[in-house]
Chain A
Amino acid sequence: MRFPRLRAIIFYSFLFATSAPVLSLVVLTVSAAWRYPSLLPTVFSWRYLVSVLAQDRRTAEALINSTLIAALTTALTLLLAVPAAKALGLYQFRGRQAVKLLVLLPLMVPGITVTMGMHLTLIHLGLAGSIAGVVVVHTVFTLPYATRVLINVFELVGEKYEKQAAMLGASPRMILTDVTLPMIMPGLLSAAIMSFIVSFSQYITTFFIGGGRILTVPLLLVPHLQSGEIQVAAVYSLLFIMSTLASIALMEGIVRKFYKGAYFLQT
């Protein structure tokens, strides 16, 4: 260990750089007056917290909607991404490399373009303004991330273990539940977490497709930012961070419970 002091300085600078914004958010939620050049607020108040958490009914509605939409989006994404990633990761076919790149297309085209285009289609299908419609649009944006992560996992794990299981007499179902799923679980978890976060933080897509009827946390947050009610926005931001973290912890907990000693790609 050379330069222990330098290492400590670098470490604490990074720690400060990452935690300071969150800390200032926390302080902001209880500050009624906080002006330059004061280091800390001059007047404290609970009223922002109380109004958002206890008085505003829309908070609960938005939280429930956000979580429900993110959970459904994650489920739909994995359902589509796992078979797609397996095919792209393991099977040899003409145009495989091109398809692997095209999977990322929804992220390369400006999001608003995709959303406007889909809005028309969803109106025709009668899905605009519904949770289902929002989930479909969110999935368009989560699918590239999830597929990409899972392609890498399938390429890493390979087909050998499935072949070995088949030779040992396992049925396709047993191969899926006892070999493939446990082996891709770390990647599956990453893909799920990423999908959840991407869905949870969508604003424009929810705004357009939900048509104002589907209220989510970002939809509550943004107007307050624009109107300068920065303390209310801070409360929503903290709520946003905490519910995302709680969901990730829940997902990890479930995986750990069902896949004890899960293989965390220790190659």
Chain B
Amino acid sequence: MANIRLEHVYKSYGEQQVLADVSLEIDDGEMFALLGPSGSGKTTLLRLIAGLEAPSAGKVIFNNADFTHVSAQRRKAIIVFQDYALFPHLTVWQNIAFGLRAGGVPRVALESKVHDILGLVHLKDRQHSLPGELSGGQKQRVALARACVLEPRVLLLDEPFSNLDTGLRQSMRDFVAALQERLRFTCILVTHDKEEAFMMSRRVAVIVDSRLQQVDTPEAIFTQPLTKKLSDFLGEANYLDGRVQGGNFYCALGIFAVNAPDSANAVGRFRWDQLALTREAGPHQGRVAAKSYAGKATYYTVTIERGHTLNVFSARHDFFVGEEIFLEVLPSAVNVY
């Protein structure tokens, strides 16, 4: 287990810059999420930590020791790939024993370690199977066991749940969370799914366009994204033009206290779930222009005065298209860019 620190890490392939000035610290035993759209550079960052690639500039530090140029073989930073990369010619048992064998662990200790971890991932009855005979969830547990049995400095999970069916995905998330709780390894989860990142970890780093946008708690990232790029990646938000004066943002929906310098051209962010529809009279009258039902909530498109069109995400399904309604802004932070 280790504390991981990245200092001003850059990575380019030829002309193309993949990572720019990424600095990040991950605590020992932390479950940390790295969130970003595909192509943002998050997988490259994972490969830099594992030692599969070297940064163009900057440092990778494990427990205060510079690991930037330590080979993957000696890092004990293990990626569990999206498709698990189980050795297809080896059995479950042999897959799990592979790293121990590489490390020259004596036979007796090796067997007991493999035995213990097989119990932990509930795969004792499949130990002689080949990977081709396993289900997706079983393969993932083998991959996790193969990495965890080595007590890695850091376990790197690359989009671990995106190949699984919805039901299995949730149970594997719980399984990984419980395993991490139990073994207390430092774990970095890479995902493009914001809900997954928010649910799995207490701190999330978001990378968009090769740059680290924000490192914060899930709540802070969701309600107060610091950059417009991050807000765009999170999506599900309305943007209203306005101006900032004396700590207040003036726009079509009213006046809101914000933490931003004065500006004549500001854009305010109102999340879809930050707006609510009501039949009781309020300051903003509007009309439902479109509606689409999505199960746990309904998406409405509402037009208000001066032709503004806003999207609203509501748990109420009973408003109808063409209905005259009122719009209210729920008390939550408003961000301006």
Contact = CB atoms under 8 A, between A and B. Distances in A.
Interface string B72-107: 111111110100010111000000001101110000
B85 A160 contact: yes
A248 B87 CA distance: 27
Nearest to A92: B13
A169 B71 contact: no
Contacts of B101: 174
A118 interface: no
A171 B52 contact: no
Contacts of A182: 89
A183 to B, nearest CB: 6
Contacts of A165: 87, 98, 102
Given A169-B103, A171-B73, A174-B102, A160 B81 contact: yes
Contact of B72 (A163, A183, A259, A263): A163
Q: For chain A, give the interface size range.
A: 20 to 34
Nearest to B94: A178
A170 B150 CA distance: 12
A161 interface: yes
A261 interface: yes
Nearest to B99: A168
A263 B89 contact: yes
Contacts of B50: 167
B89 A167 contact: no
B192 interface: no
A166 interface: yes
Contacts of B75: 167
A166 B85 contact: no
A121 interface: no
B132 interface: yes
A179 B78 CA distance: 17
B194 interface: no
Given A160-B81, A266-B132, A168 B102 contact: yes
B47 to A, nearest CB: 9
A255 to B, nearest CB: 12
B159 to A, nearest CB: 14
Given A163-B72, A169-B73, A169-B150, A179 B130 contact: no
Given A163-B52, A174-B102, A261-B130, A168 B150 contact: yes
Contacts of B141: none
B146 interface: yes
A96 B73 CA distance: 28
A167 B132 contact: no
Interface in A160-196: 160-161, 163-171, 174, 178-179, 182-183
B49 to A, nearest CB: 11
A262 interface: yes
Interface of B: 50-52, 71-79, 81, 85, 87-89, 98-99, 101-103, 130, 132, 146-147, 150
29 contacts: A160-B81, A163-B52, A164-B79, A164-B85, A164-B87, A165-B87, A165-B102, A166-B52, A166-B72, A167-B72, A167-B75, A167-B78, A167-B79, A168-B102, A168-B147, A168-B150, A169-B73, A169-B76, A169-B102, A169-B150, A170-B99, A170-B102, A171-B102, A174-B101, A182-B89, A259-B89, A261-B130, A263-B88, A263-B89
Given A168-B102, A169-B103, 6 more contacts: A163-B72, A167-B72, A167-B73, A168-B99, A262-B89, A266-B88
